[in-house]
Structure 1
Amino acid sequence: MKKNGAQILAQCLVELGVKYIFGIPGAKIDALFDALIDTPIEVILCHHEQNAVFMAGIMGRLTGKPGVVLVTSGPGVSNLITGLLTATTEGDPIVALGGNVSRSMKLKEAHQSTDNVRITEAATKSSVEVSLAENIPEIIENAFRTAQTPRAGAVFVSIPQDVLLEDASKVKPIALSPPATGPAPKDSIEKAASLFAQAKTPVLLLGLEASRRENATEIRNLLSKTRIPTISTYQAAGVIPKDLLDCFVGRVGLFKNQPGDQLLDEADLVITIGYSPVEYVPEIWNTKGEKQIIHIDYKPANIHSTYAPIVENIGDISKTLRLLTEQLPTRATVQNGEKIAKLQNELDEKISKGKSLKGELLHPLRFIHDINQVIDEKTTIVSDIGTHYMWLARYLFSHQPHHLLFSNGQQTLGVALPWAIATRLIRPEGQIISISGDGGFLFSATELETAVRKKLSFVHCVWCDGAYDMVRQQQLIKYNRETAVAFNRINHVQFAESFGAKGYRVEGSEEFLPTLKKALLDEGPVLIEIPIDYSHNRELFEITREPGH
C-alpha cells in the first residue's frame, strides 16, 4: 500500500504509543492532521500554540513519555518557544512537530517561511528538519529517545510541506525501548557512603528528578533506614509520604527565609538528589561556597563556585540510591531530632494559623487550610506562577509524587489551566484543583473552551487582586514604588459562563470551603473567583535566614 510522508509519520506516532496530540492546524501541516484521522490518536485542538505545548509538557512530566504538540509554520512554530523552554528547563519530555514551506521555497522569501531549526534550538535539547520522507521513522525515533533521556526536555522536528506528500512506501516505523542505564560506579557510591557516615549534620536536598516514581520509591527506602533530615525544591513536592514527615522540614526556593534554609545553613554535608541549580540557585543557599556536597543525578553537575560537589554519583538515580542505601547504617530516630522538631514546629505553627484567619478577603493560609479539608492522596493540585505559587509551594503539603505541580525552573505564567486540562485527560479519576492569579489566568484563559468542549471536570480557582503581585512586591522592596503591574478587574463568573463553564464568586472567607465542595461535585470545568488577602505577601520576599542564624 502506497504511503506518503504524513501517513508514515502518523504511523510512527501510533507505534510509539502516542494517545494525544495537542495543536492547531494550518496549510503547511494539514496533510499530517489529515493522516491522523485514520489513527486512534486523539487530536486536542487548542486556542494558542503556547497552551498546546504546555499541555504536552505536563503530559510528559506525568507519564514519563514525550507529550506531542503539532503546529503549522511561521507563527505556529514561533509561538511554541516559551513552552519548549519551560519543558527543557524543568525536565519535561516533549516532541514538537512543526510545518514549514516546501524545500524548493526554503531559501526564498515566501509566506510563513522560517528557519524553524534556528528559532527553536536555544529552547530545546535538539532541533532538526526532515529533508527526505524516507528519513522520517529514524528522525522521529531519535526525537523521542532524546526527549525522554534524562535530563528530559523538548525536541523539535521541522517538516517541510512537500516532505509530507512525498512517497514513503518503502520505510516502516521504528519504535525501540528506551535504553537502560546502570547505577553510579561502585567506588563513587562507597565514597558517598563514607561521607554520609562521617557527617554530623547531613541534609538531603531533593530536586526535580526526585519526583520520578522509581526515584521517590528509593528515596523513601533510604529515609526509612537512615532517618536523614530532608528538604526539597518545589518540583520535588510529594516525594515524602506521611509516615516519613518526621524527617521533612519543608521546601526551599527563591528567597532564603524558610525553616529548611536554616537546616541547609547548619549542614556539614548536603546530598542533592536529582537537583538542578535552576530550582534554587546555590548562590543563595551556599553563599560562601563552603558546603561539602554529594551530587546524585543522571548527569554531571553544572559547576558553580557555590556548587562544586566533592563526590558525584552519576547514573540511574534509583539504582544508585538502592546500592547506597545498602551501605548506610540503620537509625531508629531522626538525626539531630531535637533541632529538626523545632524547625518543623515553626513550619507547622505557620500553617495552622490559616484556620483562624477570617474576613471579607480570603487569606492564602486560610485557602490552604480549607483545601486540606477536601483533598486526598488522589487529588492533583496544579499551580500557576505568582505570589499564590509561593504560598502553596511553602505551606501546602502533598504526599504523592507529581500531585502538586509547579513551574519552577522558568516560573512560566499561564501554565495552570492548560496543565489541568492535560492532567484530566490522563488522570480520569481523582479531584483536580488548579490555581492561578487573575494576571496569570488571562494568559491562557481561552482554553476554558477546550475544557468545556472535551467535557473535562476540574475546579480552577482564581486569586484576584487586580495586579501582577509577585512583580509588584519586588518593585516595592527595591524602589518603594510600583509600575506597570495593575490592571482592571474582570467578572470571572460571567467569563466562565460565556464559555459554557460554571462560575462561582466567593464573597468572604467563610464561603470558600462550601463553594469548593459544591464545585467539586459539578460536571465540567468550574471556575471560582476569590478576592484574596495579600496583606502578608511582603514576608514571602524578606530574607530572614542569614548564614549561621
Structure 2
Amino acid sequence: MKASDLFVKCLETEGIEYIFGVPGEENADFMISLDASDKIKFILTRHEQGAAFMAEVYGRLTGNPAGALGTLGPGATNLITGVADANMDRAPMLVLTGQGDSERLHKESHQVMDVVAMFRPVTKWAQTVYHPDNIPEIVRKSVRLARTEKPGACHIELPEDIAEKDATTEPIEVRKFRRPVPDDKIVDRAWEAIRTAKRPLILAGNGTIRRRASKQLRNFVEKTGIGVLSTFMAKGCIDMDADECCYTVGLQARDHGACAIEAADVVISIGYDMVEYHPRLWNADNTHKLVHLDFIPAEIDEDYRIDVEVVGDLAHTLWMLNERVDAFGPENLDYDHSHARHAREAMKKDLDEYANDDSVGKIKPQKALADARKVLGPHDVLLSDVGAHKMWIARHYQCHEPNTCLIPNGFCSMGFALPGGIAACLVHPDRRILSVCGDAGFMMNVQEMETARRLNVNLTVMVWVDNAYGLIAWKQDNTFGRHTDLDFGNPDFVKLAEAFGWKGHFCDDSTKLADVLEQSFQEDGPSLVAVPIDYEENGKLTERLGNISCPI
C-alpha cells in the first residue's frame, strides 16, 4: 500500500484516537490517508502549540498518546514548546511532522531545517522515516517508548517523497508487557526503614497519580496512617478529606508542609520527580533517611542521597509493602503522626480563611478557588495555566481524585490551559472542565477559542485579570523590593467571548462568583468568566510564608 496509508494503518493498530494539528503541503499525502480513517479523528487547531497542549492533556488523562501534527519548518518549531511541556510533565505523545523531499535535505533549501535534531532534547526519541517499509517499526517503537515509564513524547518525521511511495510491509501487532517489579530483598529493606521510623512522611510525586499506583498508595496510607505531602502534579493521589492528606508542597518558600518534612525522620518519596520540587528546598543538609520508590532509578543529586531505593512498577511496589504491613500488623506500628496532622490543620485553616469572603471590586484568589472547588465535583477537572494563579491553585485547590487538577509544573509553559481544556472535554464530555488562566497566559493561545466553538465543547475558562505579568512582578518584588514595567492592556473579555461565539461573563462580586460559575456550566458550549483578581494577596502570602513557625 501507499506509505502514508500504511502510516495511518499503523496508528490505527496502536489505538490512536486523536491527532491535533495544522497540516501543510509536505504532509498532504498523510492527511488524505488520515481523512479516510474511521478510527482516528483529526482536530484542526489554530496554532501548532495549541495542538501540542491538546495532545498533552489527552495523554495525561488517558495514559495513551495522541498525535500532535505540524508541517516542516515553522510548523514544527511552533510545536516544540508544547512538546517539551508534555515530555517534562510525563505525558505520552506522538509528534508528527512533515518534511521536504529527501533529495533536498542535504543542502540549503526552502523551509528545510534539521527538525529531528531540534526535537531530540525535548523527546524520548526522534526519527526520520527514510524508507516506507520502516514505518511499522518506527510507529511501534514510538508508541511503546511514549507509553513506557516515565511516559513522554516521541517524534516521527515523514518526508513528502517517502509518504507517496509504495510500501510492502504491514502494521506490527501491539504486544504490551508487564513492567518489571522489584526484588523481595530490596522491598524488605525499604519496609524495615519504614517500620522502624518514628515520624515518617510520604512525599508523593507525579508517578502516584497513575490509577493502580494511587489505589495502592491509598491502601498503604490507610493501614499505616503516614501523612502525605503531594507535589503540584500529584494532587488527588489521596483524597483531600483523608486525615493523612497534608495537602501540597512545592512553593519555593517555607510553608506548613515544610514543617512536617523538617520534623520527619524518614521521608518516603514515591513517584517523585525533581523537576517539580528540588531536594535542596527540603533536604539541603541530607538530614533525612530517604526511601525512594519509583518506576526508574532516581536522578543523582547532592541533596538527594538515598538510603534505600526501590525500582520497579510503582503499584506493585506499594502492593508488596501493603503485604508486609498486613503481615506485621498495622496495630503494631509505633508512629508519631503529630507533625503531619499539625501541618494538615494549619493548612486547612488557611484554606478556609477566605472561603466566604464578600469583597466587591476585586476577588481574592483564595475565594475564587474556594468557589471553583464548590461548583466542581470530585471527578471534574480543573486545568491551571502558568502565572501567579498557578501558585494559588497549587496551594489552595485540593482534590479528591487523581488527574482532576492538571498543572504544568515540569516545563511550566504558559498558554496550556485553554487548549488543554478542549482536550479534557473530548476525553470527559460528561464532566465539568474548568480552565483557570491569567490574562497573559490566556491571550497566548486565544485563537483556540475558535476551535472550542467549532467543536462546541462545554468548557468554562475563568480568566484572572490583573493587566500584568503578575507572577514576574511578584518574584521581582520579593527579590528587589520593586518590579520592572510588566503592565499591559486587555480586550473587553465579554465582547471577546461574544466575538468568538462564546458566552461571556464578568464578575467582580465575591458573593456572586459561585453562581456565575454554576451558570457557565449550565450553558451549552464554551463560556468565559472574567474576574478582576486581588493580587495584593501575593505579597501578603509571601509575608505569611516567611513567618511560619514550626511548633514540632
Letter in 2 for 1:193: W
**Equivalent runs, 1:466-485 vs 2, <5 Å:** 466-485=467-486
| In 2, Cα distance between equivalents of 1:265 and 1:122 | 36
SS in 2 for 1:80: helix
Q: Which residue of 2 aligns with 1:445?
A: 446
Letter in 1 for 2:532: P
| In 2, Cα distance between equivalents of 1:315 and 1:544 | 40
| In 2, Cα distance between equivalents of 1:338 and 1:226 | 14
**Equivalent runs, 1:16-165 vs 2, <5 Å:** 16-40=14-38, 41-165=40-164
Q: Which residue of 2 aligns with 1:342?
A: 342
Q: Is the 8 A contact 2:13 2:174 kept in 1?
A: no
* Aligned counterpart for 2:293 among listed residues 293, 296, 303: 296
Q: Is the 8 A contact 2:439 2:463 kept in 1?
A: yes
| In 2, Cα distance between equivalents of 1:60 and 1:330 | 39
Q: Which residue of 1 aligns with 2:195?
A: 197
| In 2, Cα distance between equivalents of 1:175 and 1:306 | 44
Q: Which residue of 1 aligns with 2:463?
A: 462
Q: Which residue of 2 aligns with 1:499?
A: 500
| In 2, Cα distance between equivalents of 1:261 and 1:335 | 19
Q: Is the 8 A contact 2:223 2:330 kept in 1?
A: yes
* Aligned counterpart for 2:316 among listed residues 300, 319, 342: 319
Q: Does 1:8 align with 2:6?
A: yes
Q: Is the 8 A contact 1:22 1:46 kept in 2?
A: yes
Q: Is the 8 A contact 2:199 2:337 kept in 1?
A: no
SS in 1 for 2:530: strand
| In 2, Cα distance between equivalents of 1:371 and 1:331 | 37
| In 1, Cα distance between equivalents of 2:429 and 2:311 | 36
Deviation at 1:44, TM superposition (A): 0.5
Deviation at 1:545, TM superposition (A): 5.8
SS in 2 for 1:530: strand
> For 1:438-461, what per-residue CA distance to the aligned partner results, in whole angstroms no more than 9, with x for missing partners?
011011111010000011011100
SS in 1 for 2:353: helix
Q: Which residue of 2 aligns with 1:399?
A: 400
SS in 2 for 1:434: strand
Residue 346 to residue 123, structure 1, CA distance change in 2 (3 Å): same
Deviation at 1:230, TM superposition (A): 1.1
> For 1:175-209, what per-residue CA distance to the aligned partner results, in whole angstroms no more than 9, with x for missing partners?
31332123211111000000011111111110001
RMSD: 1.6
Deviation at 1:173, TM superposition (A): 0.8
> For 1:311-352, what per-residue CA distance to the aligned partner results, in whole angstroms no more than 9, with x for missing partners?
111011101110111112444699434443332221111111
Letter in 2 for 1:348: K
SS in 2 for 1:11: helix
> For 1:398-426, what per-residue CA distance to the aligned partner results, in whole angstroms no more than 9, with x for missing partners?
11110111001111111001111001101
Q: Which residue of 2 aligns with 1:178?
A: 176
Q: Which residue of 1 aligns with 2:260?
A: 263
Q: Is the 8 A contact 1:98 1:158 kept in 2?
A: yes
Deviation at 1:242, TM superposition (A): 5.2
Q: Which residue of 1 aligns with 2:235?
A: 237
Q: Is the 8 A contact 1:354 1:368 kept in 2?
A: no
Residue 325 to residue 36, structure 1, CA distance change in 2 (3 Å): same
Q: Is the 8 A contact 2:225 2:337 kept in 1?
A: no
> For 1:74-112, what per-residue CA distance to the aligned partner results, in whole angstroms no more than 9, with x for missing partners?
011111111111111111111101011111001122111
| In 2, Cα distance between equivalents of 1:79 and 1:366 | 36
Q: Is the 8 A contact 1:229 1:335 kept in 2?
A: no
Q: Does 1:307 align with 2:273?
A: no
Deviation at 1:117, TM superposition (A): 1.1
Residue 65 to residue 258, structure 1, CA distance change in 2 (3 Å): same
| In 2, Cα distance between equivalents of 1:534 and 1:125 | 39
Taking only the aligned residue pairs, the percentage that are identical comes to 33
| In 2, Cα distance between equivalents of 1:291 and 1:418 | 41
Is 125-134 or 286-295 further displaced after alignment? 286-295
Deviation at 1:258, TM superposition (A): 2.0
SS in 2 for 1:445: coil
Letter in 2 for 1:108: K
Q: Is the 8 A contact 2:205 2:231 kept in 1?
A: yes
Q: Which residue of 1 aligns with 2:516?
A: 515
Q: Does 1:211 align with 2:212?
A: no
TM-score by length of 1: 0.96
Q: Is the 8 A contact 2:269 2:293 kept in 1?
A: yes
Letter in 2 for 1:320: T
Q: Is the 8 A contact 1:47 1:447 kept in 2?
A: yes
Deviation at 1:19, TM superposition (A): 1.2
SS in 2 for 1:172: coil
Equivalent pairs, count: 545
**Equivalent runs, 1:321-400 vs 2, <5 Å:** 321-328=318-325, 329-331=328-330, 335-359=335-359, 360-400=361-401
> For 1:362-411, what per-residue CA distance to the aligned partner results, in whole angstroms no more than 9, with x for missing partners?
11111122223222122111111111111111111111110111001111
Deviation at 1:42, TM superposition (A): 1.0
Letter in 1 for 2:340: I
Is 530-539 or 149-158 further displaced after alignment? 530-539
SS in 1 for 2:5: helix
> What stretches of structure 2 of length at least 5 have no aligned partner?
none
Q: Is the 8 A contact 1:227 1:331 kept in 2?
A: no
Letter in 2 for 1:75: P
Deviation at 1:307, TM superposition (A): 0.6
SS in 1 for 2:512: helix
Residue 487 to residue 335, structure 1, CA distance change in 2 (3 Å): farther
| In 1, Cα distance between equivalents of 2:113 and 2:549 | 50
> What stretches of structure 1 of length at least 5 have no aligned partner?
none
Deviation at 1:504, TM superposition (A): 0.5
Letter in 1 for 2:219: N
Letter in 2 for 1:79: N
Residue 99 to residue 198, structure 1, CA distance change in 2 (3 Å): same
Q: Is the 8 A contact 2:127 2:156 kept in 1?
A: yes
